[in-house]
Copies of this chain bind each other. A is one copy, B any other.
Amino acid sequence: MVKDNSTEQKILDAARSVFIQKGLDGARMQEIANEAGINKALLHYYFRSKDKLFDRIFSEAFDTISTGLGDVFSRDIPLMDKFKNFIDLYIDVLSKNPHLPVFVFGELSRNPERLQKGIEKNMNNIMGPFFIQMMQEVNLGRLRPIHPAHLMLNMIGMLVIPYVARPMIAPILKQHLNIDFQDILDERKEVIYKFISDALIIDEK
């Protein structure tokens, strides 16, 4: 009497794959049905409409891409350790979901009201303490002054750009410098952490 859960899962897997690859407008219900190995009508039996199905996939994607912003920064550890943890965690997530940023940013740009209220709520407890912790380090003369918002933008930008701009940059690197993009990706964790360390930490001579 219970719904066959594996069918629902097959649909979700197929929908995730197709939506992330083609976007809301480019995706076809027929293609999702084919990839799930089922009838198109069954799609509407499980999820009433394309939009409902898409919402499900997008929420999931948004949650994934919001990972860490919460967990990491609320832990009671030194600031630079938070950055290190954040970088490591985020690159792990991205390397497993390389197409997520383009998908989320793209759909969000065409439809900003899709933004979840949830994520904004549990951001309240984090931003404040993190802000204070940075101010302290700056006042102690250990960090060069920078607004936390800018620092977060800098980090997220450096983390995300290789995945967002890959189809544009990878061919150039390969052609003119004979560099495999995967090698660059493998070095990102260390490079980014060193870069922000060098930018932030003041040598005490």
Give residues in A with beta carbon < 8 Å to B.
21-26, 99, 102, 104-106, 108-110, 112, 115, 119-120, 123-124, 127-128, 131, 144, 146-147, 149-150, 153-154, 156-162, 164-169, 171-173, 175-177, 179, 184, 187-188, 191-192, 194-196, 198-200, 203, 205
- Give A193 Cβ to nearest chain B Cβ, in Å: 11
Q: Which residues of B contact A199 (CB under 8 A)?
A: 195-196, 198-199
Residue of B nearest to A170 (CB): B112
Q: Which residues of B contact A160 (CB under 8 A)?
A: 157, 161, 164-165
- Give A195 Cβ to nearest chain B Cβ, in Å: 5
A154 CA / B196 CA spacing, docked (Å): 10
Q: Is the CB of A124 within 8 A of B176?
A: yes
Residue of B nearest to A113 (CB): B167
Q: Is the CB of B179 within 8 A of A149?
A: yes
- Give A115 Cβ to nearest chain B Cβ, in Å: 6
A195 CA / B158 CA spacing, docked (Å): 12
Q: Which residues of B contact A195 (CB under 8 A)?
A: 146, 150, 154, 199
The interface residues of chain A, by DSSP majority, are classed as helix
Among A149, A159, A175, the one with the most B-chain Cβ atoms within 10 Å of its Cβ is A149
**24 A-B pairs with C-beta separation under 8 A:** A22-B25, A102-B105, A104-B168, A105-B164, A105-B168, A109-B166, A115-B171, A119-B172, A120-B172, A120-B175, A127-B172, A127-B176, A127-B177, A146-B194, A147-B187, A149-B177, A150-B187, A150-B191, A153-B184, A154-B158, A157-B160, A158-B158, A164-B164, A196-B199
A112 CA / B194 CA spacing, docked (Å): 32
A144 CA / B168 CA spacing, docked (Å): 27
- Give A71 Cβ to nearest chain B Cβ, in Å: 16
Q: Is the CB of B168 within 8 A of A161?
A: no
Given known A-B contacts A25-B25, A161-B160, A167 and B108 have beta carbons under 8 A apart: yes
